[in-house]
Structure 1
Amino acid sequence: MQRRDRATNSPVTAPEAVVAAAEPVTVTVARDVRADQREAFEGWAAEVLDLAARFPGNLGTSLLRPGPGSTRYHLVYRFADGEALARWERSAERQLALQRVEHLTDRVDYAHVAGLDSFFTALTPARPGPRWRLTVLTVAAVFAITLAFQLLVAPHVSGWPLPARLLLSAVVVVVLLGYVVMPALSRLFRRWLHPSRD
């Protein structure tokens, strides 16, 4: 579920459907920064991302800097669910921070994504770290979940038809991967997955 809004100086909050989500939610805020304000903006971004990171329910933040010839920065926030996101978006801290950034930027775009899409959006931003690192982490997670399934669950369902066993295995792997294991690993290995580009 996604929404994109384009405005210059109007704070945007997640739509009701995203706020109601009982699953991880990612917000990407893209800002075109004025050429003479980049240093000031980076200072502001570091401050606001730190505020968001300390907010209850936050699962991680990152700042993606513009490439050559671009002025567009991306701030990425990930929250445990829509309610946690709503608390951040309605907070006095965020409102004050937004007031201080208006004169630094010319345009802002917001995107809200909930559910499994949120997880993959968070791990593959516009300027991700080396893709092989995400691949290694994903393979390790799938291996660990599959091994645990074979040791703990498979012996108890050995009499089931093969399609039923495969379906159960797929459901267990996908649910644990998307909602438990990879969110934890992505927080633990965040700096390794997305090394600093300073």
Structure 2
Amino acid sequence: MSSSSPVSLFISRRVKLGHEAEIQAWTKGIRAECSKWPGYLGSQTLERQGDDCDIFDVIVHFESTHALASWVDSDVCRQWYAKIEHLIEDQHMSRLQGFEPWFPPPASAGGPPPPRKWKMWIMSFLCVYPLVNLVLYLFGPLVGDMALWARLLISVPIVTFLMAFFVMPFLSRVFARWLYPSSP
């Protein structure tokens, strides 16, 4: 795992019954604190429905494994985690890199089951199609006379960057209830 490429931390916590509101407030607080940390890129909270409403999933994104380790090993992070030790029944953490953070890991890793393949296809289409059109529209006049391979060399990194760090995390939050229904 390269230390210079973006990395995400998937955290799934089962909270003791009756402490859900405390965990929600704690999650907002630690996310605000984490957002001040060097190398922080963003985070998402995935909401569960039905019988799993006592499980709280968070994905935190950092620019590198070094930045993530710096946060996880910090006194600030340790102090925040000490506040909830008595509220947690179970906790699983997984480091994810590349496109893995778009969809949480399988249930065997402690997270929700991954979305069905047709849903992932729809989400990918909703992300890629508008981005490709936007990039071609904006950069088309600048690269129109270049060879196809050169135009792709310019447009593909732009599309994949926007997709990985902005559009897909946003769409995953917006469509979380559809991607992760409470019953199969």
Scaled by the length of structure 1, the TM-score of the pair is 0.66
Q: 2: distance between equivalents of 1:97 and 1:174? A: 39
User: Aligned ranges for residues 68-107 of structure 1 at < 5 Å?
Assistant: 68-70=50-52, 71-107=54-90
Aligned to 2:128: 138
Unaligned runs of 5+ in 2: 105-110, 178-184
User: Aligned ranges for residues 32-181 of structure 1 at < 5 Å?
Assistant: 32-70=14-52, 71-118=54-101, 120-121=102-103, 135-148=125-138, 150-157=140-147, 165=148, 167-179=149-161, 181=162
Unaligned runs of 5+ in 1: 1-16, 158-164
Which letter maps to 1:80? E
The answer to whether the 8 A contact 2:46-2:176 is kept is: no
Could you list the structure 1 runs, at least 4 aligned residues long, displaced by more than 6 angstroms after superposition: 130-134
Q: 2: distance between equivalents of 1:156 and 1:171? A: 11
The answer to whether the 8 A contact 1:24-1:116 is kept is: no
Scaled by the length of structure 2, the TM-score of the pair is 0.71
**1:184 Cα deviation from its structure 2 partner:** 5.8
The answer to whether the 8 A contact 1:61-1:78 is kept is: yes
Distance 1:116 1:134, change over 3 A: closer
The answer to whether the 8 A contact 2:7-2:63 is kept is: yes
Which letter maps to 1:142? V
Q: Deviation string for 1:95-151 (max 9, x for gaps)?
A: 111111111111111111112434x348xx9699x9878754532211122335543
Aligned to 2:50, the other structure's residue is in SS state coil
Over alpha carbons, which structure has the higher Rg?
1
**What do you get for the CA RMSD once the two structures are aligned?**
3.4
Aligned to 2:163: 182
Identity rate, percent:
17
Q: 2: distance between equivalents of 1:69 and 1:108? A: 17
Matched residues, number: 165
